Amino acid sequence: MTTEQLAGTTVCMPALGESVDEGTITRWLKQPGDHVTAEEPLLEVATDKVDTEIPSPVTGILQRHLAEENDVVAVDAELAIISESSSGPVDSSPVPPTPAPAADPPRTAAAVPPAPATVPSPSQEPDTGSVATAVTQSSIGSTTEKLPRIRRTIARRMVESLQTAAQLTTVVEVDVTAIARLRAAHKDDFFRRNGIKLSFLPFVAKAAVDALAEHRVLNASLNAEVTEVTYYDHCHLSMAVDSEKGLMVPVIRDAQQLGVEGLAQAIADKANKVRTGTITADELSGGTFTLTNTGSRGALFDTPIINQPQTGILGVGAVVERLVPTRQDGELRIEVRSMVYLSISYDHRIVDGADAARYLTAVKTRLETGFTPNDL
């Protein structure tokens, strides 16, 4: 991250995550002449996966910026010079940033999933300060604003996904009354043990992940030429998370190894990291299947857009109590039941409608009959 020079310590762009080779400087937190301490945030950098703060490697005086705000800077390029003593002149004049290699020139457009108003892509980033500055104001109070990075990312990813895959959505209705009763009976004990609330989501996640073992075409990816498909023997579950900074899609690795309790803890952990801005770029990549809970904002169901290059994404609607006709011992009854819609959007280039229906039926059956107190 640093190289020693006569003028002091040169701060360089650190590695920002797997497959990330550059970042955009969104804000300098320290100016030439400022005193900084080791590990104190020096500047903010945005990538196509996440925004992050770059700390100072040493204690000293910031002598000079070697790149300016909005510059696109390659990993290992020079960012600033810090003198480890208070002596020496301070140079506040800007210096052009070190360019990226010629074969891969710096991009000046916003970086590209990962998060839905419907569904976020797996590489979405939070915006940590340079959000939406008004640039024009009309005579009646309307304003024109620059789109935040996260919205530009969503826009590009969503269009790319729709242009890449033949997307189709199938919906089923699920009776989750048994799970509602299970939650009511055990939620207090669960909270005492784990410090988190027991929602419907980890049950859905468990049913969704387990069903993928028998329906691998939905836990897969196609290559760009559509000549090969990779079927995964693990499930790295992408989870859409809402926050004040925007929607992102962190990944729960090897979700197939977790039970309901483990999934509940992992979901809470990833959500907390997103909302506190501590999620890393590596935690936002590598997903093989996505789950999005649009029901958390009251939606009954939606048609989520696939996170490329995945082949499927499961949408979870709001759980609502409704009067539902049931038949018991040959008699028709009207009962209050807890009901939810599940929607699976899939890549019709590789997944047939029958495949999607069979997968949803497997998830539905597990949710309606497959959970007991032993699962908690």
From the list 68, 135, 139, the residue with the least C-alpha distance to 98 is: 68
Give, in degrees to the nearest 5, the angle at Cα 333 between 332 and 338: 130
Backbone angles phi, psi at 117, to 5 degrees: -55, -45
Structure tokens at 195: 């410090």
Give the residue ranges of DSSP H helices in the chain.
149-164, 177-194, 201-212, 260-276, 353-369
Instruction: Compute the distance between CA of residue 300 and CA of residue 321 in angstroms, rounded to an integer.
Output: 12
**What letters, b where the CB count within 10 A reaches 16 and e where it falls short, cover 168-186?**
ebbbbebbbbbbbebbeee
Angle at 69 between CA 64 and CA 75, to 5 degrees: 80
Whole-angstrom distance, CA of residue 232 vs CA of residue 219:
6
Distance CA 264, CA 206 (A): 10
For 115, the token pair is 């998060």
358 burial class (0-12, 13-18, 19+ CB within 10 angstroms)? middle
Point out the catalytic residue in the list 76, 104, 254, 352: 352
Residue 150 in tokens: 């996260």
For residue 340, what are the β-bridge partners?
174
Residues composing the chain = 376
| C-alpha to C-alpha distance for 252 and 34, rounded to whole angstroms | 40
Give the separation between CA 324 and CA 90, rounded to whole angstroms.
74
3-state secondary structure of 335: strand
Tokens of 15: 């590695």
* Two structure tokens written together for 310: 């995945």
Residue showing tokens 């028998």: 214
Q: Choose, from 91, 186, 234, 348, the residue flagged as catalytic.
A: 348
**In which element (H, E) is residue 368 found?**
helix 353-369
- Rounded to whole angstroms, the Cα distance separating 54 from 348 reads 42
Q: Give catalytic status of residue 186 as yes or no.
A: no
- 127 catalytic per annotation: no
Residues taking part in catalysis: 348, 352
